[in-house]
Structure 1
Amino acid sequence: MSNGKKLTRKLKKNLPVTGPQAPTLYELMQWYCFTTNTHGCRRIVASKGRLRKWIWIGLTLTAVGLVFWQCALLLMSYYSVSVAITVTFQKLLFPAVTICNLNPYRYSAIKSHLTTLDADTEKALKDLYGFVETTIRRRREADSPEDGLYLKKMPLFNLESVNGDELVVKDITSKKRSRMRARVMHKEANSVSVGGENIVGFKLCDPQNSSDCTVFTFSSGINAIQEWYRLHYMNILATIPMAEKIAMGYSADELFVTCFFDGLSCDSRNFTLFHHSLYGNCYTFNSVERGNLLFSSMGGMEYGLKVVMYIDESEYNPYLITSAGAKILVHDQDDYPFIEDLGTDIETATETTIGMQLTESVKMSSPYSDCTIDGSDVPVNNLYNKKYTFQICLHSCFQREMIRSCGCGHYDQPLPAGEKYCNYMEFPSWIYCYFKLNKRFVQEQLGCQSTCRQSCSFKEWTLTRSLAKWPSVSSEEWMLRILTWELGNKINKNLTKHDLANLGIFYQDLNMRSISENPANSIVTLLANFGGQLGLWLSCSMVCVFEIVEIFLVDSFWVVLRQRWHKLCKWWKNRRANQAQESPNIPVPAMAGHDNPICLGDEDPPTFNTALHLPQVQNSQVPRTPPPNYNTLRIQEAFNEVDSDSEDEHL
């Protein structure tokens, strides 16, 4: 390598790095390591010796990894919440209390609609077990119905053997054995054990496809008869007008015998009618529809609600209801009372006292949890016209799928505008469609459980229930006599203790427990934690982070872009040069004259141009000017010193 090139390289190497304007990424990174406040990067470049460099490289990379790990943990904990529980003592709003008789309609009022169904049920019981209820026959006082109408629509079977889809069954009515192909669905277990005649079920088929059938089996004839009866019962109720159903139920004056709240007397005017599809006329105490809501002034039984209810067990439907009493549900005024799912049973001839404790919960919405504030962001239409809850969403979703798949709505849920309830006359296949849809719903195949979300705020009452025999033996006679006398205008019989139920419901104390969620970290705390991690592991601040972003993203991008641009320009110049060399040379004819040696004669005088064409003398050396002696400038020794130093540094 010539001395000039050595000088250029050494001077260029010892010149300061030009920072963001560096021509290469190596020079840019070298300048950053010398000028940054991050100590690890500076030590990598400034350290003498290869071992120290590798040690600092390892320490710096470890610190960077720890910073990323800790910052990732901080980001994940940013969306966590902390739960705060507070207990406050204040005057509490008394909740809404919905009370229903377990018997939805007076049997004497609805028997005209159930004549045929009851006759088929008695026939099935007689054929199965030889049972005849003569008292029920006398009480019904109905005309002779059409025999076997509902048994023909949905026949009952004794299941004798099962071999895959091959079934051997015995018809209850005709006593004939037959083979059929159908799926078996056991309503009380995952498997069917066939070894006797206690396996009772009914067969459902799709009217549009006779080969699509399912036999629903039960381990007890009681469960089979009740399920079979309930399906036909709901089909009949779907055809009865609402005004007639309300008239067949119990009025508030008939249901409530005595009433006290907060030490003061109350009556049926304090209750609001709520018609339930399964329990008939229910009544809500302290409902929002009545306007002025009631508060509990103190805790204890004397300051709660106390009612005595007339159950009227003699009017119970023997096939629909097998237990006697009432059902109650404590809920918020804005909530829909799902009494069939969450209700508490009240026994007859018993005093039931229920102590309440209020808990109010508030959860954080997105991004902290998947709950919804008011249900407006859930793609399910609320059919209940009440405050959004998870149960409302599930029932509304199922009813929507029921209408879409079966063409009609189930009787125990509200209907969208313009739709109809399912019944045999208009929708003959609705029962089979309902069972198939309900199976998919239970197995979470309809998507309702994944679509619906929990509510972010809700109230919950923890109930403590206690029972006592009521009335006592010593007080039974006079109490029942007085109550019979007071109800003389409403009933025409002497009351027994099994016709009455006593309920007391109250706040145990006025302490309200609030459970609220708050963000575990604020944005200020998050940034402070980020700064602490950066200072702990890399000894830098957020300004250093911005500097790193600028160097490794912005400046590096421009360096690479400049290098690409220079390569592109160089390639373009080389291409133009190659094109110029490949272009053809067009010969130009020479002009005749004295410069043309061909035209010269022997007598023409020689010229300078002709002298250039003369042959040169062999073995002749033309003296030339000797090159300058650079050693006289005395620079070589300095270069030798610089070279030795650089070689030492490389070593």
Structure 2
Amino acid sequence: MHSRKETTHQEPSSSLEMHWVSSPSTHQPRLLISRTIAFFPTFVPLSNTANMNRGPPNPRMFKFQPNPKVKNRFQDEADLRSLRSFKTDFSNYLASDTNFLNVAEIMTSYAYGESNNANEKEIQCDLLTENGGIEIDPTRLSYRERIRWHLQQFCYKTSSHGIPMLGQAPNSLYRAVWVFLLLICAIQFINQAVAVIQKYQKMDKITDIQLKFDTAPFPAITLCNLNPYKDSVIRSHDSISKILGVFKSVMKKAGDSSAEASDDGVEYDMDGITIQAKRRKRGAGEKGTFEPANSACECDEEDGSNECEEKSTEKPSSDNDMCICAFDRQTNDAWPCHRREQWTNTTCQACDEHYLCSKKAKKGTKRSEIKKEPCICESKGLFCIKHEHAALVLNLWEYFGDTEEFSDISTEEREALGFGNMTDEVAIVTKAKENIIFAMSALSEEQRILMSQAKHNLIHKCSFNGKPCDIDKDFELVADPTFGNCFVFNHDREIFKSSVRAGPQYGLRVMLFVNASDYLPTSEAVGIRLTIHDKDDFPFPDTFGYSAPTGYISSFGMRMKKMSRLPAPYGDCVEDGTTSNYIYKGYAYSTEGCYRTCFQELIIDRCGCSDPRFPSIGGVQPCQVFNKNHRECLEKHTHQIGEIHGSFKCRCQQPCNQTIYTTSYSEAIWPSQALNISLGHCEKEAEECNEEYKENAAMLEVFYEALNFEVLAESEAYGIVKMMADFGGHLGLWSGVSVMTCCEFVCLVLELLYMAVTHHITQERIRRRENAANEF
């Protein structure tokens, strides 16, 4: 060993140098101890170093020299040698026993110790190996040399390609070439790494489509009558009675405007015969059933047509002002009208489904098919209506109501209803429906339920999977502002229902009775509203429902799709559950429900009342039907939202998990003539009962078209695993670095940090000692 360091004007201090020597035969360390001179302990040989090859070194062969500051100075510094400079074989010495007595004698013979070590912890301990090499203890090096030594050792030992070539470079040119190659590879790796990271940050996703052949759960089916409330019951409510009265008055004015706009006195040419008619509002295919009705009329007999113009809303002042008209309840048309004395009760041989009759049957009709029906015909016998002679004749002024009885409605209330100067009957009906919803919102939910159709009045027959239903248990009531009482099949979330097989026989088959005779005048169609949805979702029949007519069997074949979307950061969907302010409590989150929630919050914030078409928030009262300010505010913001949806400031995401049902629709005339179904209150003959079913009942079938369903699942297109694989591939390609190599770099950084911290702590301790010594 040899370590030389200049020593000038250093205070002597006592220190020892200990060399642990390992013997290959005994495997026990041997200790070689010497006094140290200057900063690093040295041995000064008295003879040539070659003599060491002759055998184990003898401690007496070495002479310990004092520090240059003491009296016994070195005579010849060239004779100073360290064991580090001895390139010799220590095998014989290591194999021999250590003479501790000689060592102790040498140690005690030295009068005083000379060493410039700072403290006893700086004693140098080197390991002598059999080949004469000595491993350096880096802790004895200075701070900068120690860092340099660690960096050199890392270059020699690292598993990274290229870096060891820097440490083993024989010259500067060789080292510069490898530095250039390493820089080129590093730049290329950085470019590839940036591209990989950018690709990952796009958060792309892919959609996997699978077709599963498994039993699909049967959805919930919501059934509603297109007529929300019974006309015979709802008129007892003052607000509803006023609304219907104003509605009829506005409809009458709109009808008069349409009549004035039409051509009066138009001549129709039929087979060369010219027929002149004052008015003909009813077109082909628009007829319902006709009945005779009394009405106030103005008759002009000078034109020779014998027709009169009805004034259905006015009560006749005398019998001379009264006439009989053919009235259609479906279209509210009263035409033709003739004086009462021109109508005669008689019998007719043929009547159609619209109750239009003829006195004589068509030629070729069999005698057995001719039926004599009671009817009433005008004097010329050109127009006849089926009519029981003993039945009362309808009075149109009573049917339409006297508009004067609503004269107590203030101008503000009329304006609040929103009819204004409307002349379009479709728009008037739409506004009237809205007014009824607003008026009914002032009642309690229990009152609204009583005014709508009951469960057993609507649902008459039912079967599922070919077995009868339990109407009381299988159907649950849901009150809807637009359609009144609705009933949900398969509402229990704890019970799993599924179809045994595909096809209508193994789905839901239900017969419904709507009672068209008790419809409101605002109900434009007769039939059923059907909604297919997941049992966790609110049905929203006004948005997602299908209408099925009476007199038909409507078949809804369905298929199920399951959607699974990724949440952030790959997507933008709402995970399981609902938002905190969701107004449809107890139901799963949906986009439609979110928009309605946001709209309701906007209306409450700006109008101070809630929209009665949606559930309220925080117990806020719904907007009043006759409050002009409420109605104008609501209408204003509704139009603003419809015109510029972006100003709505409502952000509604798709649910992460969603079940969608797609349907295909078909229908057929029902019931057939051969089908005789018993109706609870129908005491007529089978054919007459079937006729009543055609007008008031509908048959529905809901079933799976196939026992399979689609699963659409989103997955990450480039996830963290693929990114790390590509990152590691480029890292290995351009730098030859693996995960273990990265760990080596981490360990190097930690070692350097540890060295820096310990160096700082040591320097701080020395500074404190110096300060303490200066104080004394």
State the TM-score, normalized to the length of structure 1. 0.63
Question: Do the aligned partners of 1:354 and 1:506 also contact (CA within 8 Å) in 2?
Answer: yes
Alignment of 1:332 onto 2:534: yes
Structure 1 match to 2:635: 435
Alignment of 1:273-284 (within 5 A): 273-284=477-488
Alignment of 1:467-616 (within 5 A): 467-471=667-671, 475-476=672-673, 479=675, 482-483=678-679, 486=682, 495=692, 497-518=694-715, 527-548=724-745, 555=752
Cα distance change, pair 84–228 in 1 and its aligned pair in 2 (3 A): closer
Alignment of 1:370 onto 2:494: no
Question: 1:93 and 1:60 mapped to 2: Cα distance?
Answer: 58
Question: Do the aligned partners of 2:553 and 2:670 also contact (CA within 8 Å) in 1?
Answer: yes
**Secondary structure, aligned partner of 1:278:** coil
The AA in structure 1 aligned to 2:505 is E
Question: 2:403 and 2:699 mapped to 1: Cα distance?
Answer: 39
The AA in structure 1 aligned to 2:664 is T
Question: 2:616 and 2:417 mapped to 1: Cα distance?
Answer: 34
Question: Do the aligned partners of 1:84 and 1:518 also contact (CA within 8 Å) in 2?
Answer: no
Structure 2 match to 1:447: 649
The AA in structure 2 aligned to 1:245 is R
Structure 2 match to 1:631: none
How far residue 25 of structure 1 moved from its aligned partner, in angstroms, is 11
**Aligned residues: CA RMSD:** 4.7
Cα distance change, pair 444–524 in 1 and its aligned pair in 2 (3 A): closer
The AA in structure 2 aligned to 1:266 is C
Question: Do the aligned partners of 1:78 and 1:526 also contact (CA within 8 Å) in 2?
Answer: no
Alignment of 1:124 onto 2:325: no
The AA in structure 1 aligned to 2:668 is A
Question: 2:420 and 2:229 mapped to 1: Cα distance?
Answer: 32
Structure 2 match to 1:349: 551
How far residue 410 of structure 1 moved from its aligned partner, in angstroms, is 1.4
Question: 2:755 and 2:517 mapped to 1: Cα distance?
Answer: 93
The AA in structure 1 aligned to 2:699 is N
Alignment of 1:221 onto 2:424: yes
Question: 1:546 and 1:133 mapped to 2: Cα distance?
Answer: 97
How far residue 464 of structure 1 moved from its aligned partner, in angstroms, is 1.8
Cα distance change, pair 150–300 in 1 and its aligned pair in 2 (3 A): farther
The AA in structure 2 aligned to 1:385 is G
Question: Do the aligned partners of 1:259 and 1:307 also contact (CA within 8 Å) in 2?
Answer: yes
Alignment of 1:261 onto 2:458: no
Alignment of 1:97-496 (within 5 A): 97-113=221-237, 114-130=240-256, 137-139=397-399, 144-147=404-407, 149=409, 152-153=412-413, 155=415, 172=421, 221-266=424-469, 268-269=471-472, 270-288=474-492, 294-318=497-521, 320-375=522-577, 378-424=579-625, 428-439=628-639, 441-442=641-642, 443-449=645-651, 452-471=652-671, 475-476=672-673, 479=675, 482-483=678-679, 486=682, 495=692
How far residue 98 of structure 1 moved from its aligned partner, in angstroms, is 0.4
Question: 1:31 and 1:71 mapped to 2: Cα distance?
Answer: 33
Cα distance change, pair 525–126 in 1 and its aligned pair in 2 (3 A): closer
How far residue 544 of structure 1 moved from its aligned partner, in angstroms, is 3.1
Question: 1:482 and 1:51 mapped to 2: Cα distance?
Answer: 104
Question: 1:388 and 1:84 mapped to 2: Cα distance?
Answer: 24
How far residue 334 of structure 1 moved from its aligned partner, in angstroms, is 2.0
Cα distance change, pair 546–344 in 1 and its aligned pair in 2 (3 A): same
**Secondary structure, aligned partner of 2:574:** coil
Deviations 1:242-261 (A, max 9, x none): 22322221122222233222
- Structure 2, unpaired ranges of 5+: 1-135, 258-310, 314-331, 333-395, 764-776
Question: Do the aligned partners of 2:512 and 2:698 also contact (CA within 8 Å) in 1?
Answer: yes
Quick one: which of 23, 26, 39 aligns to 2:161? 39
Question: Do the aligned partners of 2:162 and 2:178 also contact (CA within 8 Å) in 1?
Answer: no
Deviations 1:606-637 (A, max 9, x none): xxxxxxxxxxxxxxxxxxxxxxxxxxxxxxxx
The AA in structure 2 aligned to 1:339 is P
Identity of aligned residues (%): 24
How far residue 447 of structure 1 moved from its aligned partner, in angstroms, is 3.1
Cα distance change, pair 549–496 in 1 and its aligned pair in 2 (3 A): same
Question: Do the aligned partners of 1:357 and 1:509 also contact (CA within 8 Å) in 2?
Answer: yes
Question: 1:360 and 1:155 mapped to 2: Cα distance?
Answer: 48
The AA in structure 2 aligned to 1:89 is D
Computing the radius of gyration over CA atoms, which structure comes out larger, 1 or 2? 2
How far residue 223 of structure 1 moved from its aligned partner, in angstroms, is 4.4
Bigger CA drift: 103-112 or 78-87? 78-87
Question: 1:31 and 1:441 mapped to 2: Cα distance?
Answer: 72
Cα distance change, pair 533–552 in 1 and its aligned pair in 2 (3 A): same
How far residue 431 of structure 1 moved from its aligned partner, in angstroms, is 1.7
**Secondary structure, aligned partner of 2:406:** coil
- Count of aligned pairs: 489
How far residue 340 of structure 1 moved from its aligned partner, in angstroms, is 0.9
Question: Do the aligned partners of 2:417 and 2:625 also contact (CA within 8 Å) in 1?
Answer: no
**Secondary structure, aligned partner of 1:130:** helix
How far residue 341 of structure 1 moved from its aligned partner, in angstroms, is 0.9
Question: Do the aligned partners of 2:550 and 2:696 also contact (CA within 8 Å) in 1?
Answer: yes
Structure 1 match to 2:383: none
How far residue 462 of structure 1 moved from its aligned partner, in angstroms, is 2.0
Question: Do the aligned partners of 2:211 and 2:711 also contact (CA within 8 Å) in 1?
Answer: yes
Question: 1:359 and 1:146 mapped to 2: Cα distance?
Answer: 53
**Secondary structure, aligned partner of 1:39:** coil
How far residue 507 of structure 1 moved from its aligned partner, in angstroms, is 1.6
Cα distance change, pair 171–510 in 1 and its aligned pair in 2 (3 A): closer
Cα distance change, pair 20–88 in 1 and its aligned pair in 2 (3 A): farther
How far residue 353 of structure 1 moved from its aligned partner, in angstroms, is 0.8
**Secondary structure, aligned partner of 1:535:** helix
**Secondary structure, aligned partner of 1:295:** coil
Question: Do the aligned partners of 2:207 and 2:712 also contact (CA within 8 Å) in 1?
Answer: no
**Secondary structure, aligned partner of 2:560:** strand
Bigger CA drift: 307-316 or 27-36? 27-36
Question: Do the aligned partners of 1:256 and 1:310 also contact (CA within 8 Å) in 2?
Answer: yes
Question: Do the aligned partners of 1:106 and 1:315 also contact (CA within 8 Å) in 2?
Answer: yes
State the TM-score, normalized to the length of structure 2. 0.53
